Amino acid sequence: MLKGKGEYILAITGASGAILGVRLLERLRSLGFEVHLILSREARAILREETGREPKALSSLASFSYAEEDLSAPLASGSFVAPNIRAMVVVPCSMKTLAAIAGGYADNLITRAADVVLKEGKELLLVVRESPFNAIHLENMLKMALLGVRIIPAMPCFYQRPKTVEELVDQMVSRILDQLGIHGKEGSRWKGRRPRVEGRKRVKRPRS
């Protein structure tokens, strides 16, 4: 994978799947990108429950770390975001944070930064997690998608026959990186269906 330069905002909210945010942070940092990290209050608790990790340890991995209450942080202003930030990813994104962003209700640093990213015409990716979705969730996602926001459900695929949760997580994180234009060479890409071998005869793919 190519090493890169650039700054990203990574917000982790209180949906299930904190490990997705953790792995994305680790991958971005190992590639040389700067990461501005914001954890919501609920994300801190869920991070402990789901991964056994402490928010402090995670913050130390980031280039910059902020409390969600810190509305005076640079990320709250377009004058900082416009020249410095490439994109913002909320992973996992709770339905509450999705609703707040969709409603323009910027009462914490995560929703304010998302609001700023949108108004400054930067890329916003929401890795939403809930099941099942109700009509409010779907309406909010549609509203965001129509504004050009990438809605990436925390929904792995199974065609690579993953053997561990770590493999599933890494594959999902690779797809998020793809959406940021950061493409790796790892082996989790679909390369087409292999022609089936029956007996000794190779069955050719039908021409389309």
Ligand X SMILES: Cc1cc2nc3c(=O)[nH]c(=O)nc-3n(C[C@H](O)[C@H](O)[C@H](O)COP(=O)(O)O)c2cc1C
Binding-site ranges for ligand X (CB under 6 A): 13-16, 40, 42-43, 46, 94-97, 129-130
State in angstroms the smallest separation of the CB of 102 from ligand X: 13
H or E element at residue 34: strand 34-39
Q: 5, 75, 72: which is closest to 38 by C-alpha?
A: 75
State in angstroms the smallest separation of the CB of 97 from ligand X: 4
Q: Which is nearer to ligand X, 139 or 186 (CB)?
A: 139
State in angstroms the smallest separation of the CB of 1 from ligand X: 29
Dihedral, CA of residue 67, residue 166, residue 184 and residue 58, to nearest 10: 20
Q: 106, 189, 77, 96: which is closest to 136 by C-alpha?
A: 96
Q: Which is nearer to ligand X, 16 or 59 (CB)?
A: 16
Which residue's CB comes closest to ligand X? Answer: 14
Q: Which is nearer to ligand X, 1 or 136 (CB)?
A: 136
State in angstroms the smallest separation of the CB of 68 from ligand X: 7
Q: Which is nearer to ligand X, 68 or 170 (CB)?
A: 68
Dihedral, CA of residue 132, residue 47, residue 14 and residue 125, to nearest 10: -80
State in angstroms the smallest separation of the CB of 50 from ligand X: 8
Instruction: Find the angle CA(45)-CA(66)-CA(60) to the nearest 5 degrees.
Output: 75
How is residue 23 written in tokens? 């792995």
Q: Which is nearer to ligand X, 94 or 174 (CB)?
A: 94
- Residue 176 to residue 153: CA distance in whole angstroms: 10
